[in-house]
Chain A
Amino acid sequence: MSDRIDPASAAAATRLHGRPREQGLSPALLLAATLFAAGLPVALAVPHDRALAAEPTSVPAGCGEFTWNLEREIELFAAPGQPLAAAVEPRGAPRVEPNRLYALSLAPQERVTFAAPPGKERLRDGARAGLVAVVVPTAGLWRVTIDDGAWIDVVRADVVVESNRFQGRSACPRFRKSVEYTLPAGETMLIQLSGGTDAEVRLAVTPVP
């Protein structure tokens, strides 16, 4: 079925293979708003401030898409990670230390007994899973970051800790997702991974800066 193409609309909305626009400064927006409020009619197109979009030269391509400050994670995930076999049951889960990168080997999910039902159920075909333990030294905001699409749960006293927020980007070669939690200090909790299909997943637990 044919559809008419509106050249005017097309030209306004799309730049094909073009160079990026020059970007204005946010003070321009403030000036425009001030002028308008002062009674002077203002109707201008001001490119949005792109300061936040600029990538530091040390950030691998694709990792700049995250909107959080993940510099620490980018640095950690540059290494291969300390090999560690994740447990198939809560008892005996090996401990991971904050601010270290681990290369966890996971088991077929059907062999894993979880501390709590995974927060997001997926098809079990080919799924891998495992558990590790963590104790954070200070109460507050912490991140669990992995280089895979597996589902992450933090479990405290057999109850899944609700995450605050998360970020996931497939284009970053260092890691795939980072999930933030509010965690208590000095208490052993379990991190359980489920639903992914990679037998090895790199993981780090880091404080939110």
Chain B
Amino acid sequence: MFRLGRAVFNTPFEAGPEAPRRRAGLGPRFNAPSCDACHNGAGRGDPPRDGSAPTQGVVHAALSSPGGVATNRPLRVESVVGGSDARAIVRWIETIGGYADRRPYSLRRPELELRDADPALGRLHAAGLRMANPLVGLGLLEAVPDATLAALADPHDRDGDGISGRVHRVRTIAGRYGVGRFGWKAAHATLLDQTTVALAIEMGVASRWRRPPEDAAPEIDDELVHALVAFQRSTRLPDAAGRRAAGETPARPASAAVARGERLFHEYRCAGCHVPQLATGAVEDAPWLANRVVPAYTDLLLHDLGPGLAAPVGEGDATATEWRTAPLWGLGLARSDRPRTFLHDGRARSVEEAILWHGGEAALSRHRFLHAAADDRAALLVFLDSL
């Protein structure tokens, strides 16, 4: 199933009567023809350059119908025939700031320009960009019990530490409620939910579980959907995380910089949200995932990161300023053909820039980073790169 799922993940789907049966169903409106197109090599999507359209991400729009009902949904920017939902161009707006020691930094944020919007969508109020998430250790994340995450939540900040993470309860395909953990706002509790939504909305491929608005019947076999889920459940961990998950003792002690950075990570309260370690419970249909350490550096909860990172609108019960704590494992992975970018819209061109965007519940942590000595900041970044 893993191999079949990997093949499905890599396969561009097609439209039209001549499309091979198991590759048929693309569109009529879509964002990408394959999973791999955005999650290339199971990695994170690259944001567009200034003045270009996003190709490895999604534009989420705030809409209102003529009757005044407000919704939030991804726009499909490609189409097989006829027009798409809309076209989007991204412009990057840069600002300059400075650390307490007067060293300057630059931050950028995206501004979207929407063109050729389909009038049938209703009134377009605003849109935000969301890049494809890396697909790392998804099986382990899925296998963390809901109760574990609920125990980490502190929605009323009873311990007074300024951090008030909360679970995002979402309805699953199975009709039950579970703790959301996939997607930038933890809108999906299971990989089956996440996968079938992505197939339907990003690729226009209808499954038995979810269909895009334009499709009446399923277009992809159940077998291929389950294979996709099986593939994603088995996505490997980065080497360092894999060793920690296996409980291996490092061959060499961490460098002094990494050790210092780890200490600062806790001192600056980064670990308040980026919890170093979770654990899976029993997993009946995937025993290899059961009772495993998950060194993901996330609590998978929603946290308010402030107005600077706000989306145009929320998603489900998640507000505009709330985001799922991003897992930090694999942060240090780099490819020579890709710049590394971070945060939901790829605005951060470095881990450092991502830290500087943290506000809301993370404002105190950011403040400590801003006022830290340069070599302390550098040590923290070295530690994060080691994950």
Given A6-B313, A13-B312, A164-B336, the answer on whether A195 and B11 have CB atoms closer than 8 Å is yes
CB of A27, distance to nearest CB on chain B (Å): 13
In the complex, which residues of chain B have a beta carbon less than 8 angstroms from the beta carbon of A42? 96, 98
Which of B49, B71, B93, B95 sits near A53, CB closer than 8 Å? B49
Given A4-B313, A6-B312, the answer on whether A123 and B94 have CB atoms closer than 8 Å is no
CB of A161, distance to nearest CB on chain B (Å): 14
Given A3-B314, A9-B320, the answer on whether A125 and B96 have CB atoms closer than 8 Å is no
Q: How far is the CA of A20 from the CA of B92 in the complex (A)?
A: 12
In the complex, which residues of chain B have a beta carbon less than 8 angstroms from the beta carbon of A10? 62, 125-126, 312-313
Closest chain B residue, CB of each to CB of A41: B98
User: CB within 8 Å of A: which of B21-51?
Assistant: 21-23, 33, 36-37, 49-51
User: CB within 8 Å of A: which of B154-189?
Assistant: none
CB of B45, distance to nearest CB on chain A (Å): 12
Q: How far is the CA of A73 from the CA of B274 in the complex (A)?
A: 46
Q: Are A6 and B310 in contact (CB under 8 A)?
A: yes
Stretch among A43-51, A92-100, A184-192 lining the B interface: A43-51
Stretch among B107-115, B251-259, B260-268, B359-367 lining the A interface: B107-115
Q: How far is the CA of A20 from the CA of B90 in the complex (A)?
A: 10
Given A2-B71, A45-B93, the answer on whether A17 and B114 have CB atoms closer than 8 Å is yes
Q: Let me know if B70 is at the binding interface, CB within 8 A.
A: yes
In the complex, which residues of chain B have a beta carbon less than 8 angstroms from the beta carbon of A171? 53
**Could you give, for residues 1-37 of chain B, a 1 whenever the CB lies within 8 Å of some chain A CB and a 0 otherwise?**
0010011101110100001111100000000010011
In the complex, which residues of chain B have a beta carbon less than 8 angstroms from the beta carbon of A166? 337
How many residues on B have C-beta within 8 angstroms of the other chain's C-beta atoms?
68
Q: Are A9 and B316 in contact (CB under 8 A)?
A: no
Q: How far is the CA of A7 from the CA of B70 in the complex (A)?
A: 12
Q: Let me know if A156 is at the binding interface, CB within 8 A.
A: no
Stretch among A29-37, A80-88, A129-137 lining the B interface: A29-37
CB of A197, distance to nearest CB on chain B (Å): 6
Q: Are A48 and B93 in contact (CB under 8 A)?
A: yes
Q: How far is the CA of A195 from the CA of B8 in the complex (A)?
A: 11
Q: Let me know if A207 is at the binding interface, CB within 8 A.
A: no
Q: Let me know if B69 is at the binding interface, CB within 8 A.
A: yes
Which of B8, B52, B108 sits near A65, CB closer than 8 Å? B52
Which of A1, A45, A123, A197 sits near B95, CB closer than 8 Å? A45
Q: Let me know if B213 is at the binding interface, CB within 8 A.
A: no
In the complex, which residues of chain B have a beta carbon less than 8 angstroms from the beta carbon of A46? 93-96
Q: Are B8 and A3 in contact (CB under 8 A)?
A: no
Q: Let me know if B66 is at the binding interface, CB within 8 A.
A: no
Which of B3, B20, B94, B312 sits near A126, CB closer than 8 Å? B20
Q: How far is the CA of A42 from the CA of B96 in the complex (A)?
A: 7
Given A5-B312, A123-B11, the answer on whether A36 and B98 have CB atoms closer than 8 Å is yes
Q: Let me know if B97 is at the binding interface, CB within 8 A.
A: yes
Which of B3, B10, B337 sits near A165, CB closer than 8 Å? B337
Q: Are A2 and B52 in contact (CB under 8 A)?
A: no
Closest chain A residue, CB of each to CB of B22: A125
Q: Are B23 and A126 in contact (CB under 8 A)?
A: yes
Q: Are B50 and A48 in contact (CB under 8 A)?
A: yes
Q: How far is the CA of A3 from the CA of B64 in the complex (A)?
A: 10
Closest chain B residue, CB of each to CB of A19: B113
User: CB within 8 Å of B: which of A162-187?
Assistant: 163-166, 168-171, 180
Q: Let me know if B148 is at the binding interface, CB within 8 A.
A: no
CB of A160, distance to nearest CB on chain B (Å): 15
Q: Let me know if B247 is at the binding interface, CB within 8 A.
A: no
Q: Are A43 and B96 in contact (CB under 8 A)?
A: yes
In the complex, which residues of chain A have a beta carbon less than 8 angstroms from the beta carbon of B291? none
Q: How far is the CA of A53 from the CA of B17 in the complex (A)?
A: 38
**Could you give, for residues 100-128 of chain A, a 1 whenever the CB lies within 8 Å of some chain B CB and a 0 otherwise?**
00000000000000000000111111110
CB of B51, distance to nearest CB on chain A (Å): 3
Known pairs A5-B62, A33-B106 / 4 extra A-B pairs, C-beta < 8 Å:
A6-B320, A37-B103, A47-B91, A197-B19
Q: In the A-B complex, list the 4 residue pairs whose CB atoms are closest, starting with the nearest.
A: A165-B337, A126-B20, A10-B126, A53-B51
A-B contact pairs, 11 of them (CB 8 A): A5-B64, A5-B126, A9-B311, A9-B312, A18-B113, A36-B97, A48-B108, A65-B55, A120-B10, A121-B7, A123-B8
